[in-house]
A and B are shown apart, each in its own frame.
Chain A
Amino acid sequence: MINWQFTLHPDHTINLDTNDRTLARLLEEKEPTSRICMACGSCGGTCTAAQFEPVSFRHILLMVRRGETESVRSELTKCMYCGKCTLVCPRGVNTRHILALLRTMLIN
């Protein structure tokens, strides 16, 4: 088969009406910049941890905002708080604060 350099995701329904978005709302309250991410992916592109394993702040935030919190637990424990994502973010998202908040709220 031709290699198109991309794959298709399996079917996946995101139901924002039934998903539990409590965490996302709490997050927005504590760090309003969690709302202004434009999902450009710069953060994931520069991430120190992403050199070793798939970690992306963009993905973490997206999942939390969709209410699919469970899938990001493991990703959160890979962050080194190095701050590269904060510095490259063109929107001024306070990434380290969000990571720290999520980490304390979801794990410890």
Chain B
Amino acid sequence: MGFDLFVIPFTAGLAFLLVWFLYKTVEWLSHLNRVDRTMLRRGVISSKTVRSVKEVILESLLHRKIFRTNPLLGYMHMSLAFGWFLLIVAGNVEAMIFKPATIHPPYYPIFFRFFEPEAAGFPGAKAFEFIMDFLLVFILSGVALALFKRIRSRALGMKKTTRLLWYDRLALYSLWCIFPFRLLAESITSGIYQTGGIVTGSLGNILAGLIPLQSFEYPAWWAYSLALGLFFVALPFSRYMHIPTEVVLIFLRNYGIHTRNSYSSYSEIEVYSCSRCGICIDPCPMSEAAGIQNIQSVYMIRNIRYKTPDEEVNDNCLMCGRCNIACPVGIVTTDLRAIARNERHLSGNLHLTIPATSSPHHDVIYFAGCMGQLTPAVTQSMETILQQAGEDYLFLDKEESICCGRPLALAGRIAEAKQLMEINRDKILSSGARTLVTSCPICYKVFREDYHLPINVMHHTQYLHRLLMQGRIRLRSQNISLAYHDPCELGRGSGIYEEPRQILRLAGNLLPTASEKEKSICCGGSLGNTVLNQKKRHAITEYSLESLTINNPDTIVTSCPLCKKTFAQRSDRPVLDIAEVVKSAIFRDKDNIRIRENYQIPAEEFSS
């Protein structure tokens, strides 16, 4: 086994990287809070670990999710990650077969061709020559695509690609150099000794006719080792830190750990796991429709990582969550952004005296929300339906309505939001109701997640669905074509997709749209953004409408009063709330109309 000075850059770089990553991992794990640590301990010895290993292979090596976004981009990531991984594995196996019974230093398999230029005759030598060459070409094809992407990203299905910082540049350029240098070094050595596989062997022969190989061999191996060493040293400070960190992220996520209300160890792991791939840029309606290119999650996360907070970036986001769905790493970017907003410590008091009132007893509370107040058609429809169903209900915020607190929380004013939440909570609980129905998805999300109410919280889509299921109201189908818009907070935010669709299929003819369910595009009205002006909002609204009207529906239906109001300003056709649709389709016994056979939703559709 040999040693040569040129292995030092590689070996030192690798050692540095390993020590650094180990240090980081220990730091992260030891800073997990108590709850997270318990989850970690419980998770390790469960099937979740197996699941994590599988996910690491599928995502960190094969990059399956990127494949789904765009096959060519997926191939690029896979060839680099999986190809390199295989090259290391195959190199080690080769070295082991060639010299069994010795423990090799880590550089030996990497520079195998240099140390054993005439290695032949061991079992599978020919096959290894071929495999190593094949893998090298596989990786090089990925490098070529990466170069191409920098120049022309649209070809890889991305309209915008990320801007680079200098550490990234250093790491990127050294990464690009590694494999061409390896090809060169191996070819030169092969040329000298007349060995090598199809690629390195033939390239070696060609080079032999062009340059004096002997004098180029040593510098070529030095260059290869230097490129590797430089990449390893730059890695922890560059976006490539995502490679090792994503593995940790996958395990912890599978153990059930996630980002909560404050910046935790896990949040930091999420931040480091962002590869700055930029896949979150194109789905962002701010970028696509409003032409705002600097606020996307990739930049927001980069600011957190390099501690360069930018309020404008943090605030100018719709919090629509479209980037969460797109992110191949599975980073919940909106949670990180919410924390970044809170970090400003805009603590304060809401100096508003709201008289405490207790509510009379009723079974169901109906809460319209501020946006509901602005759409009387929605609240009136809900009241009609509630009466039709014979419900004993209380319209809690008919008078003296109070905001649910989520807009304040989204603006980073948690303390003030809590004040409102306390008042609303008392009002709700004092009525003794068992069910709270709200028309506004913004209220729904905060009631369900932050109020910790011991009663059943429902959005009106769920409630209407339940009324239909119980047969307390019946619908007659109308001859009208509908397109349904999933509000951000109800769809991506709360996972409610099926109930509204099942209801609408009963009431009319539901047409598909261009961006269904989790791909739904924000209406532009979002209260999560305090910065965006009306003009840009209109651009987003029109962009969303374009996707909704692709099949030319008679009416657009949504289930959020804010979406309804926002769309109505720009739409060329009626925009209704699902409550209005249900109200107008309700079948009363005195209506002498033939109703469709399946006026009730079949029971099996409710099993979920």
Contact = CB atoms under 8 A, between A and B. Distances in A.
Interface string B329-355: 000000000000000001111111111
B529 to A, nearest CB: 9
Q: How large is the interface on B (under 10, 10 to 19, 20 to 34, 35 or more residues)?
A: 35 or more
A108 B346 contact: yes
Given A46-B374, A52-B400, A83 B407 contact: yes
Given A92-B535, A100-B315, 4 more contacts: A49-B352, A74-B351, A87-B374, A108-B347
A44 to B, nearest CB: 15
A17 B446 CA distance: 48
A53 B565 CA distance: 27
B408 interface: yes
Query: Taking chain B's interface residues, is the majority helix, strand, or loop, or is none over half, making it mixed?
Result: loop
7 contacts: A48-B401, A51-B401, A77-B351, A81-B403, A92-B533, A96-B527, A104-B346
Contacts of A25: none
Query: Taking chain A's interface residues, is the majority helix, strand, or loop, or is none over half, making it mixed?
Result: loop
Contacts of A51: 399-401
Given A81-B407, A96-B530, A53 B352 contact: yes
Given A48-B402, A52-B400, A84 B374 contact: yes
Interface of B: 315, 346-355, 370-371, 373-374, 399-403, 405, 407-408, 410-411, 413, 416, 420, 525, 527, 530-535, 562, 565
Contact of A81 (B315, B349, B401, B408): B408
Contacts of B350: 77-78, 80
A37 interface: no
Interface of A: 31, 33, 46, 48-49, 51-53, 55, 74, 77-78, 80-84, 87-88, 92, 94, 96-97, 100, 104, 107-108
Contacts of A48: 370, 373, 401-403
Nearest to A88: B374
Given A48-B370, A48-B403, A94-B533, A81 B527 contact: yes
Contacts of B347: 108
Given A51-B400, A52-B353, A97-B533, A77 B407 contact: no
Given A48-B401, A51-B400, A51-B401, A84 B370 contact: yes
Given A51-B400, A52-B400, A104-B346, A80 B530 contact: no
B3 to A, nearest CB: 62
Contact of A52 (B352, B370, B525): B352
Contacts of A46: 373-374
A100 B420 contact: no
Contacts of B416: 80
A100 B530 contact: yes
Contacts of A108: 346-348
Contacts of B408: 80-81
